[in-house]
């Protein structure tokens, strides 16, 4: 596909409006669209093309099993936890119709440290959120205690030497978008050493 200046400009403008959608409902993008999004997302920068990542998709009734793992983790940390809190942990898995679990799956490589590999995996997850947004849907990236929990990791089949870089919750935004607060490049970018 040849580069098209106009669609490039549209892409950058869209990127400048990207936002997360913490409140999501059905439907998620259909399977064909998600495959397109996954393929595009995998074009993230990746030192030595190690592909140090894998992704789990969880949808439909399978979300109950994820919710059960969240509750199991909570109970292990607080054996006296009440039923309301356990329900709330389970319900976290139902916050969106589709959840993509991003896993950094490290290659033992002398030239590419683990942190670079985790960053590459995170780049794919970020691309995914961006592509979901560009497709007219919404997503939110979450981590929290369930991303590092040994119980949740084991339940998901994530190995001890792999890391969950995030859960991308995907669906249709439940609410209209709030106006974006401006974020200015000049607050974060400066010329170095700035002699000119
Ligand atoms: C690595 C990572 C982990 C995050 N974990 C959480 C989380 O656990 N809970 C949460 O509410 N937001 C989390 N966020 C932030 C949201 O994804 C989102 O960026 C934030 O709510 C701001 O919204 P915005 O993306 O529209 O600016 C995380 C973001 C990143 C990059």
CATH of the domain at 121: 3.40.109.10
Q: Which residue of 102, 141, 176, 177 sits with most ligand 1 atoms within 8 Å of its CB, as the best mutation to test the pocket?
A: 141
Q: Considering only CA atoms, which residue is closest to atom 31 of ligand 1?
A: 141
- pLDDT tens per residue across span 10-50: 999 999 999 999 999 999 999 999 999 999 999 999 999 99
**Partners of 152 in the beta sheet?**
none
Count up the domains in the chain and report the number.
Answer: 1
CA of 99 to the centre of ligand 1 (A): 15
Residue 20 belongs to some domain of the structure: no
Q: Which residue of 15, 20, 123 sits with most ligand 1 atoms within 8 Å of its CB, as the best mutation to test the pocket?
A: 20
Residue 70 belongs to some domain of the structure: no
Q: Please state the atom number of ligand 1 nearest to the C-alpha of residue 147.
A: 8
Residue 109 belongs to some domain of the structure: yes
Residue 52 belongs to some domain of the structure: yes
- pLDDT tens per residue across span 81-123: 999 999 999 999 999 999 999 999 999 999 999 999 999 999 9
Residue 141 DSSP SS3 = strand
158: closest CA among 170, 168, 146? 146
What predicted TM-score, i.e. pTM, was given to this entire model?
A: 0.97
Q: Sort 49 into a burial class: Cβ within 10 Å, 0-12 / 13-18 / 19+.
A: exposed
Both tokens of 120, joined, read: 């590459």
> Residue 1 — pLDDT band, cuts 50, 70, 90?
confident
> Residue 176 — pLDDT band, cuts 50, 70, 90?
confident
**Which residues constitute the domain of residue 135?**
34-60+95-176
Residue 100 DSSP SS3 = strand
């Amino acid at each position: 596909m040849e580069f098209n200046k106009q669609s490039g400009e549209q892409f950058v403008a869209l990127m400048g409006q990207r936002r997360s959608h913490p409140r999501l409902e059905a439907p998620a993008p259909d399977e064909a669209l998600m495959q397109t999004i996954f393929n595009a997302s995998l074009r993230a920068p990746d030192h030595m093309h190690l592909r140090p990542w894998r992704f789990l998709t969880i949808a439909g009734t399978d979300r109950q099993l994820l919710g059960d793992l969240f509750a199991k983790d909570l109970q292990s940390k607080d054996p006296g936890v009440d039923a309301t809190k356990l329900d709330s942990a389970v319900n976290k898995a139902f916050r969106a119709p589709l959840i993509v679990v991003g896993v950094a799956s490290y290659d033992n490589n002398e030239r590419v440290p683990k942190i670079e590999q985790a960053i590459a995996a995170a780049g794919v997850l970020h691309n995914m959120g961006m592509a979901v947004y560009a497709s007219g849907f919404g997503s939110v990236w979450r981590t929290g205690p369930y991303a590092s929990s040994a119980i949740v990791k084991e339940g998901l089949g994530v190995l001890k030497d792999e890391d969950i870089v995030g859960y991308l919750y995907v669906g249709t935004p439940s609410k209209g978008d709030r106006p974006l607060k401006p974020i200015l490049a000049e607050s974060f970018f400066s010329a170095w050493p700035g002699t000119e």
